[in-house]
Amino acid sequence: MDYVTEYPHSYMDRRPKKRPRLDWNPSHTPRAQSGIYYGQEVGNSSSYVHSRLLPDHDNIYVKGLAQKGSPPWPIPSILFSLNFIPVIADKILKKIGEGTFGQVLECWDREPKEFVAIKIIRSIKKYREAAMVEVDMLQLLGRYDRGGSRCVQLRNWFDYRNHIFLVFEKLGPSLFDFLRKNSYRTFQVDLVCEIGRQLLECIACSCMICVSSIRTLSPNILFVSGDYIKMPDYKGTPWSHRDRSFYKRLSKSSSIKVIDFGSAAYERPDHNYIVSTRHYRAPEVILGLGWSYPCDLWSVGCILVELCSGEALFQTHENLEHLAMMERVLGPLPSQMLKKVDRHAEKYVRRGILDWPEGATSRESIKSLMKLPRLQNLVMQHVDHSAGDLIDLLACHRSGHPFSPGTDSRGYKRGCILVCHRSCISFSYLYCSLKVLSYLAFLRVEDIVSEVMCLL
């Protein structure tokens, strides 16, 4: 029996249709694209249904798909014909993610016998194009990310019925899912340090191929494994999130990887459109001053604080308030930066300084902003030991100003190389690396590569 053609369409998409959807019968030969690992010919093997995993085909449904309706369901039988078996848990197809570009299914790949995450891209031109950029970038990143230890590994990809399928290694939960499931209990400072180091390695790799910012970094950092242990604990949960749980989860492994390069961009001098998830957005992005790698570093800083405190650092949806929060936590924005703003952002600046509190939308906004602690105090509230190092790292204290990183490269290059090659690293190395990466952003890519190569 062909599982796919038996599927009850009425479950999936009740919107009126002009014409029936194409089915996903593998007898239609799809357009095959070169895979990275397997180079499989798409649609050349017989359809396969794993009877143990799919015990009752007619009753299997996929949570939440009726509203979305894209990519076309039922489950594309091309997956079976390529020996990817969608994982079914309790009659619900295991959909492990959903984003702008499509949906992600957990599957079992029978060939190398491993779980994979298959991202099925919507059949919309701009998403298809973004998927191809992602493929391109991941292939290039693979050259620099030795052993595939920082960026998610693309196992294969193919184009079928106008949908691009990206087959990735299966990773664990995102840092933020982990934080949420742990009732927002903070991560230990050593783990935060380790995560910071790995994120910098990832950015260092992307510097090498001119990827000018990963941009949607924040929710796209996944633990490599979802394994954890439970420990009795009642400390470390922010008051706003305290619940009755006396246990906290400790991830068994600190390894992380970055996924989703669909929005990454190659280096160009004129990037000035808005990027990054709001809470992790750098000041130069908000002010429309153009951006490059340093805006990823800004995001890394915000993420590290959030992992230490359990709460997003800049919780706002308004530009002026966001900039005012930055000044409150880190000190005044540099005057050179404010002088450069053009007509799009000039409403936030008056006579060379931020138009705050005059420009605030409400008294509540001013009041709640006043409650924000300075970075130093915030870190000390949450971190028992190494607080000073962490503050130095986050605020670039030793260089003078938090918003002007990378003015002096003396002694910092070796720090960067240590990051790239996973040698021993401490907070101060991490600090050096932050500075180096910011500094490198102003160098030509060939220069960066030759710097690295001569130290190998």
Ligand X SMILES: Nc1ncnc2c1ncn2[C@@H]1O[C@H](COP(=O)(O)OP(=O)(O)OP(=O)(O)O)[C@@H](O)[C@H]1O
Backbone φ and ψ for 78, nearest 5 degrees, come out as: -60, -30
* Residue 176 sits in the site that holds ligand X (CB under 6 A): no
Instruction: Label each residue of 62-103 as H, E or C.
Output: CCCHHHHCCCCCCCCCHHHHCCEEECEECCEECEEEECCCEE
Of 259-267, 302-310, 332-340, 359-367, which part binds ligand X (CB under 6 A)? 259-267
What minimum distance in Å lies between the beta carbon of 169 and ligand X? 6
91-100: long-range contacts (C-beta < 8 A, 24 or more apart)? 91/56, 91/59, 91/60, 91/61, 92/60, 92/61, 92/62, 92/63, 93/60, 93/61, 93/62, 93/63, 95/62, 95/63, 95/64, 95/65, 96/170, 98/64, 98/68, 99/260, 100/127
Q: Residue 99, interface with ligand X (CB under 6 A)?
A: yes
100: number of Cβ within 10 Å: 13
Contacting residue, 26, 72, 102, 415, with ligand X by CB under 6 A? 102
Residues 6+ apart with CB under 8 A from 305: 313, 375, 378, 379, 394
Binding pattern to ligand X, positions 356-395, x when CB under 6 A?
----------------------------------------
Q: Measured from the CB of residue 275, what is the shortest distance to ligand X in angstroms? A: 12
User: Please, what's the b/e burial string for 432-447 (b: 16 or more CB within 10 A of its CB; e: otherwise)?
Assistant: bbbbbbbbbbeeeeee
> Per-residue x/- marks for ligand X, 190-209, CB under 6 A?
--------------------
170 touches ligand X (CB under 6 A): yes
Closer CB to ligand X, 111 or 342, in the complex: 111
Q: Is 97 in the site for ligand X (CB under 6 A)?
A: yes
User: Which of 96, 312, 345, 366 touches ligand X by CB under 6 A?
Assistant: 96
Neighbours of 53 (CB within 10 A): 13
Residue span binding ligand X (CB under 6 A) among the ranges 21-29, 52-60, 207-215, 216-224: 216-224
Residue of closest CB approach to ligand X = 97
Q: Give Rg (Cα) of the chain.
A: 24
Q: In the 3-class helix/strand/coil scheme, how is 242-258 assigned residue by residue? A: CCCCCEEEEECCCCEEE
Does the protein bind ligand X through residue 119 (CB under 6 A)?
yes
Position 101 contacts ligand X (CB under 6 A): yes
Length of the chain: 456
Number of residues counted as binding ligand X (CB under 6 A): 22
224 contacts ligand X (rule: CB under 6 A): no
User: Which of these segments, 99-107, 265-273, 282-290, 410-418, binds ligand X (CB under 6 A)?
Assistant: 99-107
SS3 label, residue 144? helix
Contact between 168 and ligand X by CB under 6 A: the answer reads: yes
Q: Does the protein bind ligand X through residue 174 (CB under 6 A)? A: yes
Assess 262 for contact with ligand X (CB under 6 A): yes
DSSP SS3 for 40: coil
Q: Position 243: which residue type?
A: D
126 is known to lie in a ligand binding site: yes
Longest dimension (CA), the chain: 74
Coil, strand or helix: which one is 223? strand
User: Looking at 85, 93, 105, 152, which residue binds ligand X (CB under 6 A)?
Assistant: 152
Interactions with ligand X, residue window 322-351 (CB under 6 A): none
User: Smallest distance from the beta carbon of 184 to ligand X, in angstroms?
Assistant: 18
Q: Which residues bind ligand X (CB under 6 A)?
A: 96-97, 99-102, 104, 117, 119, 152, 168-171, 174, 216, 219-220, 222, 259-260, 262
Which residues belong to the annotated binding site for ATP? 126
The binding site consists of 126
